[in-house]
Amino acid sequence: MKVARLHAAGEVRILNEPSPVPAGDETLVRVKAVGLCGSDLHWFTRAAIGDTPLQRPLVLGHEAAGITPAGQRVAVDPSISCGSCEYCLEGHPNLCPYIRFAGHGLQDGALREMMAWPNNRLAALPASLSDADGAMLEPLGVALHAVDLGKLSVGARVAICGCGPIGLLILQLARSSGAAAIYYTEPLPHRGEAARHFGGTEWRPGVEVDVAFECAGADGAVEDAISAAKPGGRVVIVGIPDDDRTSFTASVARRKGLTIKLARRMKHAFTRSIRTVEAGLVDVRSLVTHRFPLTKAAEAFAAAQRREGLKTIIEPWQEA
């Protein structure tokens, strides 16, 4: 089978390797679609993410969908928590210290033609969802978790600071949750246009919101979120910064008495993601703007790094 492995920053090699042999609790999945995430770009550009460096050539990709040998179309939940530690037992599997995550550390991800994955981490895809839709369920789960942290209520005013795919998904969820006003900040014109398409209004200084979501991994977006949040409001930081540090003007946040929360991946959201898309509450399909075969993975990463379009999808079985 063909595999795309990251060997160093900016160096993705296409290799031929044996297909994986599934363990007793695993199923072999023919991977049909893989989304490139901002965290994948951290690996690609820096050969690291946060304080975790590249330890060996790694198969990236954690937003995936495919088909089993039995013909069942599935979406892949990339997170394998231990299920028995304090945090898992308290209902926070995303905080499990023993977690294995596709395309992270020593755990190979989905940028390959075949992958073996635990049965209980595979979700059946309804016929109404395409393979690319299935790959979008994981980022939608991240957005759902962020919205949960923000405790949105009907009639709330919301700001989205950074309108990549996660920000646009949060924007749509805020609209579906009954937000009275949704503002956005975004330096890239085509992403700002997408935010307006989904009902956002460009934020201007002086406009205050109940909840602000930072979705860019940049201090400028964090400052926008702090500025937009009203006294006593909430800020949810979703983005991952390039240099593993986030900073903001402390006096402003302190004077406002803000509650600041940081989102880590998703929590109990995969089934909700499927229901949300099926119900038409969120449009994931239009966010997919670029598609590449696996053999052109390096070009796909380069396009995503340039922030072309919105979501880049790699289709491992697509011909070049």
DSSP one-letter string for 138-173: HHHHHHHHHHHHHT--TT-EEEEE--SHHHHHHHHH
**Residue 68, CA atoms < 13 Å, CB-side half-sphere:** 18
Predicted confidence (pLDDT) at residue 320 exceeds the cutoff of 70: no
CB neighbourhood size of 169 (10 A): 29
Is residue 247 classed exposed, middle or buried when 0-12, 13-18 and 19+ CB atoms within 10 A define those classes?
Answer: exposed
pLDDT for position 268: 86
Question: How many angstroms separate the CA atoms of 26 and 168, rounded?
Answer: 33
pLDDT for position 319: 77
**What's the rounded mean pLDDT across residues 79-85?**
96
**What's the rounded mean pLDDT across residues 273-294?**
97
Output phi, psi for 223, to 5 deg.
-60, -40
Question: How many angstroms separate the CA atoms of 309 and 279, rounded?
Answer: 26
pLDDT for position 242: 87
**What's the rounded mean pLDDT across residues 61-71?**
97
Calculate the alpha carbon distances from 270 to 123, 130, 221 in Å: 8, 16, 27
Residue that is written with structure tokens 């990463």 in the block: 301
What does pLDDT average to over the chain?
Answer: 96
**Is the distance from CB of 261 to CB of 236 less than 8 angstroms?**
yes
Question: How many angstroms separate the CA atoms of 93 and 90, rounded?
Answer: 8
- Among 168, 153, 190, which residue's Cα sits nearest to residue 285? 168
Lowest mean pLDDT among 38-47, 73-82, 105-114, 254-263: 38-47
**Residue 97, CA atoms < 13 Å, CB-side half-sphere:** 3
Calculate the alpha carbon distances from 190 to 70, 201, 308, 318 in Å: 41, 14, 9, 27
Question: How many angstroms separate the CA atoms of 264 and 122, rounded?
Answer: 20
**What's the rounded mean pLDDT across residues 198-225?**
97
Q: Is 71 left (phi over 0), alpha (psi -120 to 50) or beta?
A: left
- State pLDDT tens for residues 5-33: 999 999 999 999 999 999 999 999 999 99
Share of the chain above pLDDT 90, in %: 96
Three-state DSSP at 303 gives helix
Q: Which residue segments constitute the domains of the chain, with CATH numbers given?
A: 2-136+284-315 (3.90.180.10), 143-262 (3.40.50.720)
Is residue 135 classed exposed, middle or buried when 0-12, 13-18 and 19+ CB atoms within 10 A define those classes?
Answer: buried
